[in-house]
Amino acid sequence: MRTLLTTGCAAALLLAGNLAVAQSSNSEQVNRDKTTETQNQTTKTKSDTVYGKVESYRPGKSLKVSVPGKIVKSKSFDLDEKNQSVNIASNVKVGDWVRVQQKTDNNGHKMLTVKESTKPPKSS
């Protein structure tokens, strides 16, 4: 009886987890802060990575990508911001899945990279 109950509970948890994954938007946002110490200085780098679908794209002006969450459903990037380097794949268009990575160094300089992505990585 105990084995049957344990098996039933495990199956229910697996089914609930699969339903939750099926309902997600497949978009993902990953934020990372990295500090590197060397003999001469300490370097801090902030990195934000967004996996999502391009909602709008105006070359040289702006990019809007879908992101997870119930409050904020998309994230916009200003492509003509001062003190920023931008590298966007030439074939990016509305409806494509992309990976947008924005890094900021300890001098405040930003680097925005947009690449095609088939789908977001699985969360760990």
Please report, for residues 18, 19, 21, 67, the alpha-carbon distance to residue 7 in angstroms, rounded to integers and kept in the order given.
Answer: 17, 18, 21, 36
Provide CATH code, domain 27-34+43-116. 2.40.50
- Tell me the C-alpha distance between 106 and 124, whole Å: 28
Q: 60, 80 in Cβ contact below 8 A?
A: yes
pLDDT in tens, 71-115: 668 899 999 999 999 999 999 999 999 999 999 988 889 999 999
**What per-residue confidence (pLDDT) applies to 21?**
34
Residues of the chain above pLDDT 70, percent: 56
* Domain extent listing, the chain: 27-34+43-116
Comparing C-alpha atoms, which of 49, 97, 105 is closest to residue 77? 49
- DSSP codes of every residue in 29-96: EEEEEEEEE-SS-EEEEEEEEEEEEEEEEETTTEEEEE-SSSS--EEEEETT-TTEEEEE-TT--TT-
The pTM score is: 0.62
